[in-house]
C-alpha cells in the first residue's frame, strides 16, 4: 500500500477530510471512519453512516494532467469492488451505471468521486461506502431498497486493506491505459443489461433498453431503432 492511513472514530465525512488535507498527504492515503456525521452521496444527498460494521473510507489519488480520460474512473472503482467481493465468495454482486454496487438487486454500496485542482493536475478523492451491517436503518435517509452483507461476517480490517490495495493498483493501471482495459470485465456485472430502463437527467426522462456500455464507459441506450450514448454526468438510471 502507498500513503498513510488515517482512522477516525467519528468524522463529518472521510471525503471532506481528504479534500481539506490533500496538499499535505501522500498519494494513496486512505481515510477511514467508524462513523460519519455528515456522510454524503451524489448531488448533496446524505449517506447513512452510523457506528456499525459498515465501511466508510476514501482514497486520495493524484491524477496527472496528461493521464487517460477521467470520467469512467467511477466505473473502474465499482468494478474492482465488485470483482473483489465476488472473489471473496459473495455471489450476485452487480453494478448500476455509473457508480452503485448492488447485492441481490438492492443497493449495498456507493462511490462518490470529488476533486480539487493542484498545479500538476487533479487531486481526486474516491469515497466508498459499503453496507456490511445495516441492522439499524434510518428510513428517512435510506429511502429505497438497500442491502447489506452481514451474513458474510467479513473481517472489516482485512477487507478494507484488500480493497485499498486493489484500488491503488488499478488506479495506476487506469491512468496509463484508460478504460478500454476494463470495459469487457464491467459488462459481466451490469444490473440492467438488455433491460428496460429510464435515464433521468436534470430536465428529461429518457426511456429505452440498456445495452451496456461502450469502450468509453458511456451508457448505450436503444430507443426504438435509434442508439444513443450517454457519458457519465449528473444523471440517474432506473429500471422501467
Ligand atoms: P443515483 O446515484 O443513480 O441517483 P440512487 O437512487 O442510488 O441513484 P443515491 O443518492 O446515489 O441515489 O443513493 C441514495 C440511495 O441509496 C438511498 O435512497 C438508498 O436507497 C440507498 N442506500 C443504500 N445504502 C445506503 C446508505 N448507507 N445510506 C444512504 N442510502 C443508502
Ligand atoms: C452514493 O451512492 O451516492 C455515493 C455514496 C458514497 C458514500 C461514501 S462513505 C465514505 C465517503 N465519505 C462520504 O461522505 N461519502 C463517501
Q: Which pLDDT does position 234 carry in this prediction? A: 72
C-alpha cell at 73: 474512473
To the nearest 10 degrees (0 to 180), the angle between helices 73-87 and 180-187 is 50
Closest residue to atom 9 of ligand 2, CA basis: 129
181 C-alpha to center of ligand 1: Å?
A: 28
Q: Which residue has the cell 452503485?
A: 100
> Is ipTM over 0.90?
yes
Return the pLDDT at 203: 86
Examine the residue annotation and report whether 238 is marked as an active-site residue of this protein.
Answer: yes
User: Distance between terminal CA atoms of the chain?
Assistant: 42
C-alpha 105/C-alpha 192 separation (Å) is 10
What does the pLDDT read at residue 84?
98
* Ligand 2 and 15: CB distance under 6 A: yes
Report the atom number in ligand 2 closest to the C-alpha of 15.
12
Active site residue 185: no
Lowest-confidence segment of 57-61, 65-69, 120-124 by average pLDDT: 65-69
pLDDT of residue 1 exceeding 90, the answer is: no
| Arithmetic mean of pLDDT, 143-164 | 96
pLDDT band of residue 207 (cuts 50, 70, 90) is very high
- Give the number of whichever ligand sits closest to the CA of residue 18: 2
pLDDT digits (tens, 9 = 90+) for 218-228: 999 999 899 99
Residues 107-134 have pLDDT tens digits of: 999 999 999 988 888 999 999 999 999 9
Q: CA-to-CA distance for 109 and 102, rounded, in angstroms?
A: 7
CA atoms in the 13 A half-sphere facing the CB of 81:
28
* 77 has pLDDT over 90: yes
What's the pLDDT at 240?
A: 86
Amino acid at each position: 500500500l502507498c500513503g498513510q492511513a488515517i482512522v477516525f472514530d467519528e468524522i463529518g465525512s472521510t471525503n471532506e477530510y481528504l479534500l481539506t488535507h490533500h496538499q499535505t498527504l501522500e498519494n494513496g492515503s486512505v481515510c477511514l471512519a467508524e462513523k460519519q456525521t455528515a456522510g454524503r452521496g451524489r448531488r448533496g444527498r446524505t449517506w447513512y453512516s452510523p457506528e456499525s460494521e459498515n465501511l466508510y473510507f476514501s482514497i486520495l489519488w493524484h491524477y496527472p494532467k496528461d493521464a487517460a480520460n477521467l470520467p469512467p474512473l467511477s466505473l473502474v472503482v465499482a468494478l474492482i469492488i465488485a470483482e473483489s467481493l465476488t472473489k471473496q465468495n459473495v455471489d450476485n454482486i452487480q453494478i448500476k451505471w455509473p457508480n452503485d454496487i448492488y447485492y441481490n438487486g438492492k443497493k449495498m454500496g456507493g462511490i462518490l468521486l470529488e476533486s480539487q485542482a493542484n498545479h500538476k493536475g487533479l487531486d481526486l478523492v474516491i469515497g466508498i461506502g459499503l453496507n456490511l451491517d445495516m441492522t439499524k436503518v434510518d428510513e428517512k435517509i435510506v429511502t429505497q431498497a438497500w442491502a447489506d452483507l452481514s451474513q458474510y461476517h467479513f473481517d472489516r480490517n482485512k477487507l478494507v486493506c484488500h480493497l485499498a490495495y486493489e484500488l491503488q493498483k488499478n488506479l495506476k493501471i487506469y491512468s496509463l491505459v484508460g478504460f478500454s482495459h476494463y470495459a469487457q470485465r464491467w459488462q459481466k456485472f451490469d444490473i440492467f443489461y438488455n433491460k428496460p430502463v429510464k435515464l433521468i437527467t436534470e430536465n428529461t426522462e429518457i426511456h429505452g433498453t440498456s445495452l451496456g456500455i461502450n469502450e468509453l464507459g458511456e451508457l448505450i441506450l436503444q430507443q426504438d431503432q435509434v442508439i444513443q450514448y450517454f457519458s457519465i454526468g449528473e444523471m440517474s438510471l432506473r429500471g422501467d
